Amino acid sequence: MKKLVLLTVAMLFMFSTIAFSQGMVTGLTGKGIKVGLNLANVTGTDAPDNISMRMGLAAGGFITYAFSDMFAIQPELLYSMKGYKYDVVGGDKETAKIDYFEIPILFKVLLVGGGNFKPNFYAGPAIGFLMSAKVADVDVKENMKSTDIGLIGGAGADLLMGTGTGKITFDLRYEVGLSSTDDTPADRKISNSVISFLVGYGF
């Protein structure tokens, strides 16, 4: 956890230094909401066999603060449905439903040009706070860690709607868990893994 905080501070310092050296205008450049689809799974040496993705919802809001024309930081607050599906006797599948309130802190590289279509790339840490955990509709929250640390990387684009009328945002991202979700004496090594497709509106 300390390493993650130090990395975040270091990246903030780096972007702030670049912005100062370029003398660019900085500030809050946008805020908005987004919603999309999670394709969630788990990885790790103790992950169950014969698992498959759980489809779930991701939804929340964001703000964007620009350090320059090329660099920005984007904190988000999302409700994110994670988990997985697994095979049971008889060929049926059960679902592990693991849902979080999540705070990603994304460091963005904004590509210049492109008219009203503005691509970007981003990466950054995320911390999730466990809201509920059920396996085959049995509450297992007490067997899960209350927080989850992850790392997000992805690409997106903003489609500008016109002067002062907002923008539509598109995101494709992958999040890998950096910590185990298990909080039992067995201390099993299981981490979240999520692909997300998100669409939003910024203003």
The yes-or-no verdict on residue 16 having pLDDT over 90 is no
The yes-or-no verdict on residue 66 having pLDDT over 70 is yes
The yes-or-no verdict on residue 25 having pLDDT over 60 is no
In whole angstroms, what is the distance from residue 11 CA to residue 27 CA?
Answer: 17
Contacts of 103 (CB under 8 A, 6+ apart): 75, 76, 77, 78, 126, 127, 128
In the chain, count H helices and then E strands.
1, 10
Question: How much is the pLDDT for 14?
Answer: 53
| Residue given tokens 């900085």 in the structure block | 26
What's the CATH code, domain 2-202?
2.40.160.20
- pLDDT averaged over every residue in the chain: 88
Query: What Rg, from alpha-carbon coordinates, does the chain have?
Result: 19
Q: Give the helix ranges, DSSP H, for the chain.
A: 2-22
DSSP 144: B
Q: Give the helix ranges, DSSP H, for 23-168.
A: none
* Percent of the chain's residues with pLDDT above 70: 86
Place 27 in a pLDDT band, splitting at 50, 70 and 90: confident
User: What's the average model confidence in pLDDT over 30-42?
Assistant: 96
CA atoms within 13 A on the CB side of 53: 11
Nearest alpha-carbon partner for 96 in 196, 177, 192, 195: 192
The yes-or-no verdict on residue 98 having pLDDT over 90 is yes
Q: Which has the higher per-residue pLDDT, 2 or 189?
A: 189
Is the Cβ–Cβ distance between 94 and 88 less than 8 Å? yes
Place 163 in a pLDDT band, splitting at 50, 70 and 90: low
**pTM across the whole model:** 0.84
The yes-or-no verdict on residue 17 having pLDDT over 60 is no
3-state SS class at 189: coil
pLDDT digits (tens, 9 = 90+) for 115-135: 788 999 999 999 999 999 999
Q: Which has the higher per-residue pLDDT, 203 or 121?
A: 121
The yes-or-no verdict on residue 91 having pLDDT over 80 is no
Question: How much is the pLDDT for 3?
Answer: 54
In whole angstroms, what is the distance from residue 82 CA to residue 193 CA?
Answer: 8
